[in-house]
Chain A
């Protein structure tokens, strides 16, 4: 106690700060940083969970580079990103833009849009899976055949399966993005629009010159957030293609599913860790790139 009393106020504050910080610090080091670091180390090792961990040098990375499945999966992951992020952002902006102007049952409609976001991805994936089944089970094909359009193989086709899996993933995230967009739209002062009305500019000019630029922080957030989501897509794919996860013929398989497969079906922990490191680097590079491209040039230091 004498030691504590002899401290200055600033030093006492530091002591207390560290006492309170200790719990989350220990938690983070133990639960987050240690496994992450361990995964990095593991990516340079061979391990099947039961054996001892053996150093493998760059073996895992070399194997990954030469693995044709990895490149298919790598491409799939970027297709999820390249289609999912722009489509989901465009859709949610259009919905939010118009929903913002709707007064009639506004809260109810907004709740309907938000509902899918609260629903379990597994349940959703299975319902959509049912939609996609061939006649006489599938909802969509039944509807198509009743008006004389030939059936479409959704989940059984190597070309159609990926978009078919992506659709519910986009739909599920829409509610969240709409809410964020609406909050962004609400934050734009009404006088900007009133001034534009007095100046007599067209609705299109108002949208492109006022609304979208002022919405930029919201857009940046959603682009980064949804990109990370699509790069890590897993549950929709896994649940909609359970017979052959990531199939048919790896045409829907994303990186996370490959990692899961390598680790818990192949028990090839070192190899899975190497794939994880690649995913980590991809996420990091894509996010930083987006933040760099969309950085705020207006702000002066």
Chain B
């Protein structure tokens, strides 16, 4: 049982800084996903927790024990790699058992443990096969099995699903989540895919350029994004962003469009910020921006539509801007139609134009 605490973790490659002080507390049994675009430092963070990368400064503790100078094997962790790292010349049984080589268990106990893990992952009949005879999803399960066999305190996953096709990815996502519920160990999972992050995580850590942008539950990061970056990174298609000007409870946009904020009350700090710098970026999720037959807030021409079955994405030209909105799946507009778009005033997000931080 172990929590993981990162305290002001910094990493430099030579003179190039890649992590600028990461603070994170992962509690015991929690499923935390590190997500961000490539080069944001998420994998580096994970590899520092694993002990595969040196720590420039700061501290990593696992289970209330500082592990900065411990070898990976002494940290009681297991890691699943993007390319699985299962050995092609060994059978599945040997691959899974590889993690038990240094354990002091008897041979019979080791075999017993391998069989247990194989049963848990539904791989018993594959134990004598070589990785070359397995499908991508099965290989992934072998890699997970090898991680499980030692019963580590913490599981580290480094983009384990990105080599799988879309359908298999969805399936493995569920399997890993079920596994977490059953085994109850701490999991730190790295991905660049926000859907994976949203669907699997207890808490999501969004990173960019070596900084943490936001830590929060999937609900929080989606509905209360800390800044513009998070707002656009989480959710697909990305949030619509328009520039505007705040004035007495109303937003003034280009082309004399005015949005009423419905008497929204801001914190004292936000209110003074708005008074001092009324320029804002207005964020609207495509899910919240509805195509309506009533007079809405925006009028535009449909440039193209993307039918998704249950609903339809509508790309509409509003003035010089393109907005993405949602229409019902059954009676969608067609390209060239004039449509009006509406949004509930409480669903509008405001960001500071200077630093992109959410104003609330």
Residues of chain A whose beta carbon lies under 8 Å from any beta carbon of chain B: 189, 191-192, 194-202, 205, 209-210, 213-214, 216, 298-300
Interchain CA distance A300-B129 in the complex, whole Å: 11
A199 to chain B, nearest CB (A): 5
Smallest CB gap from B91: residue in A: A298
- A194, A205, A210, A213 — most chain B CB neighbours (10 Å): A194
Judge if B52 is at the interface, Cβ distance under 8 Å: yes
Contact among A198, A200, A210, A299 with B87 in the assembled complex (CB-CB below 8 Å): A210
Interchain CA distance A214-B89 in the complex, whole Å: 7
Given contacts A195-B79, A197-B52, A209-B90, 8 further A-B contacts (CB under 8 A): A189-B85, A192-B85, A195-B85, A197-B72, A198-B72, A200-B74, A200-B102, A214-B88
Contact B133 A300 (CB under 8 A): yes
Contact A194 B81 (CB under 8 A): yes
Contact B85 A213 (CB under 8 A): no
Contact A299 B83 (CB under 8 A): no
* Top 4 closest pairs, chain A to chain B, by CB: A200-B73, A191-B85, A195-B85, A213-B89
Judge if B316 is at the interface, Cβ distance under 8 Å: no
Contact among B71, B85, B87 with A194 in the assembled complex (CB-CB below 8 Å): B85
- Specify which chain B residues have a CB less than 8 angstroms from the CB of A214 in the assembled complex: 87-89
Contacts A199-B99, A200-B73 given: A191-B81 contact, CB under 8 Å? yes
Interchain CA distance A197-B85 in the complex, whole Å: 12
Judge if B33 is at the interface, Cβ distance under 8 Å: no
Judged by DSSP, the binding face of A is helix
- Specify which chain B residues have a CB less than 8 angstroms from the CB of A191 in the assembled complex: 81-83, 85
Judge if B17 is at the interface, Cβ distance under 8 Å: no
Chain B, range 58-80, C-beta contacts under 8 Å to A: 71-74, 77-79
Chain B 130-153 near chain A by CB (<8 Å), digits 1 or 0 = 101100000000000010001000
B60 to chain A, nearest CB (A): 15
- Specify which chain A residues have a CB less than 8 angstroms from the CB of B146 in the assembled complex: 195, 199
B210 to chain A, nearest CB (A): 22
Contact B132 A299 (CB under 8 A): yes
Contact A198 B101 (CB under 8 A): no
B250 to chain A, nearest CB (A): 56
A202 to chain B, nearest CB (A): 8
Contact B101 A201 (CB under 8 A): yes
Smallest CB gap from A196: residue in B: B98
Contact B89 A194 (CB under 8 A): no
Contacts A191-B81, A205-B101 given: A199-B73 contact, CB under 8 Å? yes
- Specify which chain B residues have a CB less than 8 angstroms from the CB of A194 in the assembled complex: 50, 52, 72, 79, 81, 85
Interchain CA distance A298-B90 in the complex, whole Å: 9
Contact A298 B88 (CB under 8 A): yes
Contact B79 A198 (CB under 8 A): yes
- Specify which chain B residues have a CB less than 8 angstroms from the CB of A216 in the assembled complex: 89
Smallest CB gap from B83: residue in A: A191
27 examples of A-B residue contacts, CB within 8 angstroms: A191-B81, A191-B83, A192-B87, A194-B50, A194-B81, A195-B79, A195-B81, A195-B146, A196-B98, A197-B51, A197-B73, A198-B50, A198-B72, A198-B78, A199-B99, A200-B71, A200-B102, A201-B98, A202-B102, A205-B101, A209-B90, A210-B87, A213-B87, A298-B88, A298-B89, A300-B130, A300-B132
